[in-house]
Amino acid sequence: MTRSFYITTPIYYVNGAPHIGHAYTSIAADVMARWKRLQGFEVFFLTGTDEHGQKVEKAAADAGLDPQSFVDKIAADFKDMARVMGISYDDFIRTTEERHKVSCAELWKRIAAAGDIYLGHYEGWYAVRDEAFYDESELTTRPDGTKVAPSGAPVEWVREPSYFFRLSAWQDRLLQFYEEHPDFIAPSSRRNEVMSFVRGGLLDLSISRTTFNWGIPVPDAPGHVMYVWLDALNNYVTACGFPDPAAPRWHYWPADLHFVGKDIIRFHAVYWPAFLMAAGLPVPKRVTSNGWWVVDGEKMSKSLGNVIEPRKLVDTFGLDQIRYFLMREKPFGADGSISHQAIISRINVELANDLGNLAQRTLSLVARNCGGQRPARGAATEDDTALLAAAQALPEALDPHMDRQTFHEALEEVWKVIRAANGYVDRQAPWALNKTDKARMGDVLRVLLDTLRAVATVLQPFMPDSMSRMLDQLGVAPDRRTLDALSLPLEDGEALPPPQGVFPRYVEPAA
Ligand code: ME8
């Protein structure tokens, strides 16, 4: 039976245009989805937009539009960002869709039926930018007297009737759950942070608002709309067809992997499992969180207005180049900064020089000296065997890194093989063998072709378009591009298409 794997991105607030931070989390989730497909999993990959709440309502008002027309416009922009970044999603959910309203109403009713919702009165701090409630003790006071949340978002005092979720009752069960599932929160620094937050004591959570109405109505409670985070988190079960147990996608639940930014780990690792447990639904298997791309030391964000536009970067450098840079430049969970120079250096050194030249040198020697046909495998020397063994072992070498989302280390494994292959070319000098030992030249080129095939196969999730072109040039049929297919040898003597460079060097345009 095919194993299924359910992966999600956060659903993005439609309060402004997408930026490279959103593209980053989506690309990471996409790399994972493509990797799992290469491994033969039946993948369900979900992304979408978070369209309710005060922050979005305010952005619509600022733009002079009614909320629905505003969210339609920005959601289309996020969908386009996913297209431009090569995000291979299976479903794009919008929280203003009817299916989601039905699902949220049912989730609410189940939690209420379990006795975990009560009517009360909220009085306290709220940050619209984070759509989050804060305790006084979490705030800091700026020199001008304004109070801000730990994220730096300004807070306002809110006083309104509200329904509450009995979060306090879930503290022990959550702690027990984290103990029993050590891989639930990644990286481990975030796990420790979440556990100490929960150990510190949980307050009941306000889950309805009455001072605005851009949200999903609370069942049988006129004037109340659901707190946007309850609505938003529930998107992950809506997309599986909740509440219909016969829905074709219901078997995907619980999710295998939620990708989130480190700012929203608390919502996914504390509130979300508690809501699900209260509703009697299974809890996701893992929440993995990425660090920030920062600009001049500050988190890039729509609210701060210091954003890098993903489409501009792609136009300047190319999509696969940007996907590679984002996955390679910093550890997934850590913060890092983007600079023009750093992108150029990754492109010119690692893509154009290390990998591009290796492929180009090999393929042009085959074209020139082997009549454009794949040479047969000859008797292997020690040098040949060592390189081929390292190339063949790539799927296993990458897998633990992919499972831990240490993508930069997965790429480092591939580059170890690429660097070894470059060393091999220099030692074996196939261009010289053309004059002295044509048979050995063929053997060497075949070792290189097989190595490049393994490299291009495992790199497909990171750089789908370039690697597909490289596999075309290596003569690997589309149905031979899975990890398992690497053990099936390619035919000797097959004619290869004429070589074409895959990774040009980036040259700064003249000013
Ligand atoms: O939080 N660097 O949406 P959102 C890296 N709607 N990643 C970044 C980033 C940056 N500078 N800025 C944003 C929300 N991200 C909610 C989610 S899910 C049920 C609801 C990424 O539009 C990061 O993954 O503010 C962050 O968590 C995500 O974009 C969501 O951004």
Residue bearing tokens 């895959």: 502
Q: How far is the CA of 260 from the centre of ligand 1 (A)?
A: 7
Give the separation between CA 281 and CA 350, rounded to whole angstroms: 46
Q: Which CATH superfamily is domain 340-487 in?
A: Isoleucyl-tRNA Synthetase; Domain 1 (1.10.730.10)
pLDDT band (50, 70, 90) for residue 162 = very high
Q: How far is the CA of 24 from the centre of ligand 1 (A)?
A: 10
What are 68-79's pLDDT values in tens digits? Answer: 999 999 999 999
Q: How far is the CA of 362 from the centre of ligand 1 (A)?
A: 42
> CA 438 from chain center: how many Å?
47
Helix, strand, or coil (residue 53): coil
pLDDT band (50, 70, 90) for residue 309 = confident
Q: Is the pTM of this model over 0.85?
A: yes
Q: How far is the CA of 297 from the centre of ligand 1 (A)?
A: 17
pLDDT band (50, 70, 90) for residue 303 = low
What's the pLDDT score for residue 2? Answer: 75
What are 217-254's pLDDT values in tens digits? Answer: 999 999 999 999 999 999 999 999 999 999 999 999 99
The DSSP secondary-structure symbol of 405 reads T
Q: How far is the CA of 338 from the centre of ligand 1 (A)?
A: 17
Give the separation between CA 28 and CA 462, rounded to whole angstroms: 9
Cβ proximity of 123 and 158 under 8 Å: yes
If you count DSSP H runs as helices and E runs as strands, how many of each does the chain have, helices first?
A: 20, 17
What are 121-157's pLDDT values in tens digits? Answer: 999 999 999 999 998 889 999 998 899 999 899 999 9
Give the separation between CA 191 and CA 362, rounded to whole angstroms: 46
Query: Which of 434, 467, 464, 423 shows the shortest CA–CA distance to 364?
Result: 434
pLDDT band (50, 70, 90) for residue 295 = confident
Statement: residue 301 has pLDDT above 80 = no
Statement: residue 298 has pLDDT above 80 = no
The DSSP secondary-structure symbol of 421 reads H
Helix or strand holding residue 118 (H, E): strand 117-127
Please, what is the Cα angle at 362 between 357 and 365, to 5 degrees?
120
Q: How far is the CA of 402 from the centre of ligand 1 (A)?
A: 21
Q: Whose CA is nearest to atom 18 of ligand 1?
A: 10
Give the separation between CA 15 and CA 215, rounded to whole angstroms: 15
Query: Which of 493, 373, 358, 360 shows the shortest CA–CA distance to 424?
Result: 358
Q: Whose CA is nearest to atom 13 of ligand 1?
A: 21
Where do the DSSP E strands lie in 223-363? 225-226, 257-261, 287-290, 293-295, 298-299, 336-337
Statement: residue 1 has pLDDT above 70 = no
Give the separation between CA 320 and CA 56, rounded to whole angstroms: 32
Backbone φ and ψ of 287, nearest 5°: -120, 120
Per-residue tokens: 102: 């039905």
Domain 4-290, second-level architecture = 3-Layer(aba) Sandwich (3.40)
Residues 6+ apart with CB under 8 A from 412: none
Could you tell me what percentage of the chain is helix, strand and coil, using 3-state DSSP and rounding each to the nearest 5? Answer: 50, 15, 35
Backbone φ and ψ of 237, nearest 5°: -90, -30
Q: Whose CA is nearest to atom 7 of ligand 1?
A: 21
Per-residue tokens: 367: 């074209």
Give the separation between CA 286 and CA 259, rounded to whole angstroms: 9
Ligand 1: atom nearest CA of 293 is: 2
Ligand 1: atom nearest CA of 292 is: 2
Q: Whose CA is nearest to atom 29 of ligand 1?
A: 22
List pocket residues of ligand 1, CB cut-off 6 Å. Answer: 10-13, 21-22, 24-25, 50, 232-233, 235, 260-261, 263-264, 290, 292-293, 299-301
State what percent of residues in the chain have pLDDT above 90.
Answer: 90
Statement: residue 82 has pLDDT above 70 = yes
What's the pLDDT score for residue 471? Answer: 98
Helices (H), 88-183: 98-113, 171-180
Helix, strand, or coil (residue 167): helix
pLDDT band (50, 70, 90) for residue 496 = very high
Residue bearing tokens 């040198």: 361
Sign of CA dihedral 22, 28, 31, 36: negative
Residue bearing tokens 């053309």: 434
Choice among 1-5, 199-203, 394-398, 476-480 with the minimum mean pLDDT: 1-5
Helix, strand, or coil (residue 395): helix
> Cβ–Cβ contacts within 10 Å for residue 401, how many?
17
Give the separation between CA 59 and CA 464, rounded to whole angstroms: 36
pLDDT band (50, 70, 90) for residue 302 = low
Residues 6+ apart with CB under 8 A from 180: none
Q: Whose CA is nearest to atom 15 of ligand 1?
A: 21
Rounded to the nearest integer, the mean pLDDT of the chain is 95
Per-residue tokens: 506: 């980036």
Statement: residue 7 has pLDDT above 70 = yes
What are 165-223's pLDDT values in tens digits? Answer: 999 999 999 999 999 999 999 999 999 999 999 999 999 999 999 998 999 999 999 99
Give the separation between CA 361 and CA 48, rounded to whole angstroms: 43
* Domain parsing of the chain, residue ranges: 4-290, 340-487
> Cβ–Cβ contacts within 10 Å for residue 304, how many?
13
What are 465-495's pLDDT values in tens digits? Answer: 999 999 999 999 999 999 999 999 999 999 9
Helices (H), 310-461: 310-317, 319-329, 340-345, 358-369, 382-392, 394-404, 407-428, 430-436, 438-459
Give the separation between CA 182 and CA 186, rounded to whole angstroms: 9
